[in-house]
């Protein structure tokens, strides 16, 4: 299992809403705000960085885009 697959699998533990771009090594995920810190920290360990985030206050979620640093 490569790093990108591990990151995808990890995100799927927190939500069913995961979009993966294997060409650009990026992941878009919509998660509850309570889970953001752990998702951010674990993806950072896998050499991902956050490139976009948008909080949806009405439903208490955050949509984030992560990209592997080595593929920037």
Q: Where are the domains of the chain?
A: 3-71
**18 φ, ψ (degrees, to nearest 5):** -125, 125
The C-alpha atoms of residue 27 and residue 55 are separated, in whole angstroms, by 17
pTM of the model: 0.87
Nearest to 66 by CA among 13, 14, 17, 8: 8
The per-residue pLDDT for range 3-61, each reduced to its tens digit, is 889 999 999 999 988 999 989 999 999 999 999 999 999 999 999 999 999 998 889 99
pLDDT tier for residue 71 given thresholds of 50, 70 and 90: low
Place of tokens 């951010």: 40
Place of tokens 């790093």: 3
Segment holding 24, helix H or strand E: none
Architecture in CATH for domain 3-71: Roll (3.10)
Identify the three-state secondary structure at position 64. strand
């Amino acid at each position: 299992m490569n790093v990108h697959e591990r990151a995808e699998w990890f995100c799927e533990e927190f939500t069913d809403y995961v979009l993966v771009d294997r060409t650009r090594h990026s992941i878009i995920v919509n998660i509850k705000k309570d889970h953001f810190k752990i998702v951010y920290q674990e993806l950072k360990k896998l050499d991902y960085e956050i490139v976009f985030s948008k909080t949806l206050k009405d439903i208490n979620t955050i949509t984030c885009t992560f990209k592997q640093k080595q593929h920037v």
